[in-house]
Chains A and B, each alone.
Chain A
Amino acid sequence: MTRAWATHDPTARPNGQVFGRAPAALVIAGVIGFAFLVVPVVAVVAKAPWGSVAHELGNADVRTALWLSLATTAISAALCLVFGVPLAWALARVDFPGRRVARAFVTLPLVMPPVVGGVALLLAFGRTGLIGSWLDDAFGITVPFTTAAVVLAQTFVALPFMVISVEGAFRSTDVRYDDAAATLGASRLATFWHVTLPLAAPGIAAGTLLSWARALGEFGATITFAGNFPGVTRTMPLQIYIGLQSDPDAAIALSLVMIALSIVVLVALRERWITGVAP
């Protein structure tokens, strides 16, 4: 196993030729880590009730959850695009005091437990929350435990992926293109639309895909802030969790769908990385 890995992985060959064989201890640890990541996915595929997958996915509850997930994640991804791209631009191009602190806050939801994110959203948008009490008083709007809450929870956890990906794209494009645009009479906004944005398009596409995938998988913040009401807030991850207790086969079928979607996302990103900057 060890030897087969070392000789069949093409990227290992140059090192193998120069430095000798890869140390067994490192290879074994790496293989264990790899197996740990792959075996569970293989298990889902192996244990799936292949004969009844179509039937399970035809289940009304499952279809409702699927549809709710697709609709809410599409809105979340759009929100990430609309607010995340300008935020990334500000972090990449505007030299304002406290920029480092701002960037730290942007990345906080990445490392924060999603459940805590849900609690934080409740305290902000709940009926007695910072903004929620005002929304309730002024407009009679209640956010928690609605489909809107699902979208907010998903956007909260997904937005950092967009910002980080797009900020990287903005930073890697030569800022002197902005100079060139300015000397041609382009205002900063025109430069953003006609130069900065098109040049960062691959990074923006990647960010959109990543944030969409993150929104699709969102569970903790959703169940805390939006609850678990069929047809209203019960998205696919919640349906899987519920289904595992009552109807395991439906849960496994849904898991298969989500694994398939994840693979599609990976392949799409891989395509982009291989083909590089657009046409």
Chain B
Amino acid sequence: MSLAADFVVRRPEHTTTFALDAAPGEVVAVVGPNGAGKTTALRAIAGLQPITSGSIRLGGRVVSDSSSHLAAHRRDVGFVFSDHLLFPHLDAVRNVAFGLRRRGMSKDAANATAREWLERLGLAELAARRPRQLSGGQAQRVAIARALACRPAVLLLDEPLASLDAGAAMTLRSTLRDHLADFGGVSLLVTHSALDALVVADRLVVLEHGAIVQTGSPTEVAARPRSAHVAALVGLNLISGTAVGGVVRSATGPDLVVSERVDGAVVAVFSPSAVGLYASRPAGSPRNVWSAVVRSVAPHGDAVRVQVDAEIGSILADVTPAALAALDLRVGDPVFASVKATEIAAYPA
């Protein structure tokens, strides 16, 4: 079943506007900073949150609009919560069988199906355990099995890896990718992590301040981010402003010279490896030079990632360890940052 959503949820604290058409089998990641309305959007689709206007359709059937609301338990929607919410009084098998039982399946058949799902997620030997006897990663696997076992038309995952340590998140991420690829319905994955979005999703929806700012394939969005949040997510520098014939007048500081002839509202994006750092103002070719202050220094792969507060905004720079040693940079030191115009991609915002 397809999902067609276009709605507004107005609440006293914030308003969330969300729109998405997704075909069966599609995996859509919803990314954005905290408080952007990601969870609200998911809850509205699940039927746990009424909408103010617009509509939500599942397989052509209206399940939410401004005047009607199909109760959550009548929608064919699965939900995986960030803190798993396994029922503490039931063991893993009975947690997974819960939805099947509610759909009228006999106890034996439901338990047998639940065991199959646990096996599929590599949890066969933990079937008799209660949630508190499971690790975070195991519990989240059981929660995913519980949601998938009902074979919902739409699977909603609200930061399923957020509460796990890095190792557990890594293994569960690949499990998730495999199972979401096999899953025939629409999957919607809310996440904070670029890795989740890039590894798991076919499409990205970027939500900020309760509104969608960008949608596209992960590679498109990563290559041409339209917001500072996404740029930071994929590890790029982004400066927005107004361009007049190759010069971007930034909102925050000095002008930025780019090699492309663009006009109007633009975003300029450049990689941290395109940024050079100098102890004194460099002479010669670089057109974009800003004085800056070092904010943080951290290893990043083979390079060292230096975050600096420049006149034009906060910028990431990747330098080699040797260069860093030569510059002798410490947090709080003054430095000059430069970017060649040819290294900057500018495109309409």
Contacts and interface: CB of A to CB of B under 8 A. Distances in A.
Interface of A: 174, 176-177, 179-188, 190-191, 194-195, 198-199, 201, 277-278
A184 B146 contact: yes
Contact of A186 (B77, B85, B98, B146): B98
Contacts of A185: 73-74, 99, 102-103, 150
A26 B170 CA distance: 59
Interface in B64-106: 71-74, 77-79, 81, 85, 87-89, 98-99, 102-103
Contacts of A187: 71, 73, 102
Given A179-B79, A183-B48, A185-B102, A199 B89 contact: yes
A184 B146 CA distance: 8
Contacts of B74: 185
Interface in B37-72: 46-48, 71-72
B102 A186 contact: yes
A177 B85 CA distance: 6
Nearest to A191: B73
Nearest to B76: A185
Contacts of B156: 183
A186 to B, nearest CB: 5
Contacts of A277: 88
Given A174-B85, A181-B102, A183-B79, 14 more contacts: A176-B81, A179-B72, A179-B79, A183-B46, A183-B73, A183-B78, A184-B102, A186-B73, A187-B73, A187-B102, A194-B102, A198-B89, A199-B89, A277-B88
> For the complex, would chain A's binding face be called helix, strand, loop or mixed by DSSP majority?
helix
A183 B72 contact: yes
B46 to A, nearest CB: 5
A182 B72 contact: yes
Contacts of A188: 73
15 contacts: A176-B81, A179-B48, A182-B47, A182-B71, A182-B72, A183-B73, A183-B156, A184-B78, A184-B146, A185-B74, A185-B150, A186-B98, A187-B71, A187-B102, A194-B98
Interface in B95-139: 98-99, 102-103
A195 B102 CA distance: 12
B71 A184 contact: no
> For the complex, would chain B's binding face be called helix, strand, loop or mixed by DSSP majority?
mixed
A185 B77 CA distance: 9
A190 B85 contact: no
Given A185-B103, A186-B73, A194-B98, A180 B85 contact: yes
B1 to A, nearest CB: 15
Contacts of B89: 198-199, 201, 278
B81 A184 contact: no
Interface in B276-325: none
A177 B84 CA distance: 10
A4 B71 CA distance: 63
Contacts of B85: 174, 176-177, 179-180
B102 A190 contact: yes
Contacts of A179: 46, 48, 72, 79, 81, 85
A185 B85 CA distance: 15
* 7 closest residue pairs by CB, A with B: A184-B99, A183-B79, A182-B72, A185-B102, A180-B85, A198-B89, A186-B102
A278 B85 CA distance: 18
Nearest to B84: A180
Contact of A180 (B71, B77, B87, B103): B87
A195 B87 contact: yes
Nearest to B101: A194
Q: Which of A179, A183, A185 has the most CB of B within 10 A?
A: A183
A194 B103 CA distance: 14
A208 B79 CA distance: 35
Q: Which of B46, B72, B98 has the most CB of A within 10 A?
A: B72
A247 B78 CA distance: 69
Contact of A183 (B77, B87, B103): B77
